Amino acid sequence: MMLRALPPTLLLCALLAGPAAAQRPAQTRPLTLGEQDTVYDLYLPDGPPRGAALVAHGFTRSRAQHVQLATRLAEAGFVVAVPDLPHWTRHEANADALVALAAEVSALPCAAALPVVLIGTSAGGLATLLAAERIAHVTLWVGLDPVDAFRQGRRAAQALKVPALVLRAPASACNVGGSARRMASWLPEGHRLQRIDDASHCDFEDHTDTRCEQICGAADPARQAQILQITVDAALQAVPAAPAAGAVACVSAPRR
């Protein structure tokens, strides 16, 4: 297919239609927490994995908001787990859930001691940041327009010992006045902060809905694709090596 021959508008549509059209099969598994159990979707790469990635959604959202990101990461060689976070506003408890999820993923025969990328959108950005120091082998934290209204993540941000990428939208009520900038200012030197021009808070979900757009502004497929690509590229840069010698492929397990 000769993409160069297409007009710019059709070229954009062709590029977006490729990865967005296919959804990788996921296993939906229970996550036993004791206080409030939940579920997560597990996406497996085709061969031995290069790393693991945990993806956390935003306030009142669900794992359905990050199907395309999970698919792209799995295609890039990551074992990917995307939970339904069990709490709306108890961010420390959601961090506990992510720690439990990381332990469950690392117990897979194919995923022991893999480097881990943590990715969180909005309030999920705060939850992943709070969990980072308690998860082994973390190599990157990515905040997708992360939100911290009460400075809960300040100590965790200051203590982060791995590279960080913060993508942000212009300030709005939905991202608490652009709190991603404040969160980034707490991070050690060497982090990367990038503004996505004209983005709404909904652009940081690869699958959004009218409820989000009515409250936080319309999403744009081109911006969504840009954010997704930057995130996947950052994960690959953080975990550039091919699977180690002797690494085994993940085998799909029956749903429990």
Length of the chain: 256
Mean pLDDT of the chain: 90
pLDDT at 4 over 80: no
Evaluate whether 138 touches 118 at the Cβ level (below 8 Å).
Answer: yes
| Domain positions in the chain | 26-238
Confidence check: pLDDT of 50 > 60? yes
Single-letter amino acid code for the residue at 239: V
Look at residue 243 in the predicted model and tell me its pLDDT: 78
The CA distance from 27 to 152, in Å, is 33
- Of 11-25, 71-85, 175-189, the poorest mean pLDDT is in 11-25
- Summarize pLDDT for 213-241 with one digit per residue, the tens: 999 999 999 999 999 999 999 999 999 98
**77 φψ region: left (φ > 0), alpha (ψ -120 to 50), beta (else):** left
CA distances from 100 to 5, 29, 54, 79, 85 (A): 50, 13, 11, 16, 12
DSSP H helices, 117-163, are: 123-131, 154-159
**Distance, CA of 125 to CA of 145 (rounded, Å):** 8
Residue 19 has pLDDT above 50, yes or no: no
* 245: confidence class by pLDDT, cuts 50, 70, 90: confident
Q: Is the pLDDT of residue 18 over 80?
A: no
Q: CATH top-level class for 26-238?
A: alpha beta
Q: Render pLDDT for 106-116 as a digit per residue (tens, 0 to 9).
A: 999 999 999 99
